[in-house]
Amino acid sequence: MAQAIPTGHKRDKTVASTRNSETALSHPIVYQIRIQGHLGAHWSDWFAGLTITTLDNGDTLLTGPVVDQAALYGVLRSVRDVGLPLVSVNPVPPGQAEASEIRQ
């Protein structure tokens, strides 16, 4: 027996409106992605123009705007493809975004 799937529930409308508001953001979110190991500045194209900062502790910080979740997953796939361990992924609060753009 086929199971009926309800449509038009309030829950479905809430989920849809949440998705629409997420895609309607007027500006990208700035992220700081920390990976273990050093990357040179020539990797910038590989990471969609994110700023690459090498840290004294041996880590690399990738910083920059990411337009949506799909783009963030793309950056994380690139981190995986390089083969360096991912340490952390953090959104930068809007007021701190300008101060966090550290150049190498």
Q: Write down all domains in the chain, each with its CATH number in brackets.
A: 27-100 (3.30.70)
Q: What is the pLDDT of residue 99?
A: 46
Query: What's the distance, CA 8 to chain centroid?
Result: 32
In order of 54, 74, 94, the CA distances from 70 in angstroms are 26, 6, 20
Mean pLDDT, all residues of the chain: 77
Task: Render pLDDT for 75-101 as a digit per residue (tens, 0 to 9).
Answer: 999 999 999 999 999 999 887 755 444
Task: Render pLDDT for 17-62 as a digit per residue (tens, 0 to 9).
Answer: 444 444 445 688 999 999 999 998 788 888 878 999 999 999 999 9
Nearest to 86 by CA among 32, 13, 18: 32
Q: What is the pLDDT of residue 25?
A: 55
In order of 10, 16, 17, 21, 82, the CA distances from 13 in angstroms are 5, 5, 6, 12, 40
The 10 Å Cβ neighbour count of residue 34 is 19
Q: What is this structure's pTM? A: 0.67
8 A C-beta contact, residue 41 and residue 47: no
Task: Render pLDDT for 14-25 as a digit per residue (tens, 0 to 9).
Answer: 444 444 444 445
